[in-house]
Amino acid sequence: MKVLVTGGGGFLGEAIVDQLLERGDQVRSLARGDYPHLREKGVEVVRGDLSDAAAVSRAVQGCEEVYHVAAKAGVWGPYQAYYQANVVGTENILQACREHRVARLIYTSTPSVVYGEGALEGVDESVPYPTRYLTAYPETKARAEQAVLAATSETLQTVALRPHLIWGPGDNHLVPRIIDRARRGKLKRVGDGRALVDSVYVDDAARAHLLAAQALATHGRPAGKAYFITQDEPMAVGALIDKILVSGGLEPLTAEVPAKVAYAVGWVLETGYRLLGKREEPLMTRFLAKQLSTAHYFDISAAKQDFDYHPQRTIDEGMEALGAWIREAGI
């Protein structure tokens, strides 16, 4: 098939691209930046912004499947910037899929769409969206996810996947940030570090996207549904962070800050940054404090049943690969 991957040069996007190429598909990538290494792999690289409907339409034209991975992520920033990338961009993708009669749209969502402030312990996809969000990213992703699921029809089948805390070789966000902050002495455990959280190895997250697309094409059970995607191995957040640090040749964390203090610091920093007009991300935010101190792990039975998703690696196996990549890349 001819397939479009938005954000094909990103961490998860490139993993999906690689698996599609291995499957034998013709792959096109849409992103704002240029990615010459994708061209070397045989990918057709198209530059454009998701908020530009004409550019999105040109990228979608001729494709049978679309993997909409690109998004503005983060825990801080003006709402409008997130809205343009995540909501308007997704609306443009949906319109282009209808216009060019794309058969399947696989949307990369996030479990954060159902995260308010409390713990999520072993919940399935029936858990409702919260009435209040602590930051713009999960709120705009929730709006986009709802639009995607509502758009499924006889001519366009859609599905939303919610991978949680993606990590692995090639990570340009989570792992480098953890290692950098630890080296600068800016990383502390929030709370006692015992809250259970889910994560997912990047290759398993990518594979889930292809499995969901295949299920849409064969029996259609995932159409119009959202699915949590994890390693199915909940782990204490402190232990997970320590494993990443050890993979990077660093010592486990010993310093910690009470969860309530971290939340208060986040509120103060957010308020100060907003008043001063700062655009960089604060060291701590309310959302980050809650994510690091409350449980959020998920029941992935639906993904197992509807498109036979099962993780191919354990966390420890993935950490071995991550450590090798960190040493080779000099992170």
Q: Determine the Cα–Cα distance for residues 20 and 2; give it in Å rounded to an integer.
A: 10
Domain 2-249+286-329: state its class: alpha beta
pLDDT tens digit string along 192-202? 999 999 999 99
User: Is the pLDDT reported for residue 117 higher than 80?
Assistant: no
Report the relative pairing of strands 189-190 and 26-31 from DSSP bridges. unpaired
**Residue 315 is which amino acid?**
I
In the chain, % helix, strand, coil (3-state, to 5) comes to 45, 15, 35
Is the model's pLDDT at 113 over the cut of 80? yes
| Predicted confidence (pLDDT) per residue in 272-320, tens digit | 988 888 888 888 888 888 888 999 999 999 999 999 999 999 999 999 9
Q: DSSP class of residue 76?
A: -
Confidence (pLDDT) at 190: 92
Catalytic residues: 137
What is the identity of the amino acid at 1?
M
Q: In terms of C-beta density within 10 A (0-12 exposed, 13-18 middle, 19 or more buried), how is residue 97 classed? A: buried
State yes or no: pLDDT of 92 exceeds 90: yes
pLDDT at 103: 97
Q: Give the Cα separation of 34 and 276 in Å (integer).
A: 33
Q: What is the mean pLDDT of residues 123-139?
A: 94
What integer pLDDT is reported at residue 330 of this predicted model? Answer: 84
Task: Report the side by side order of strands in the sheet with 296-298.
Answer: 120-123, 296-298, 196-197, 235-236
**Any idea which of 11-25, 58-72, 168-182, 222-236 has the lowest mean pLDDT?**
168-182
Closest listed residue to residue 14, CA positions, set 244, 205, 211, 214: 205
Higher pLDDT, 184 or 331: 184
pLDDT above 90: percentage of residues in the chain: 82
Sign of CA dihedral 94, 287, 323, 180: positive
Structure confidence by residue, pLDDT tens digits, 204-232: 999 999 999 999 999 999 999 999 999 99
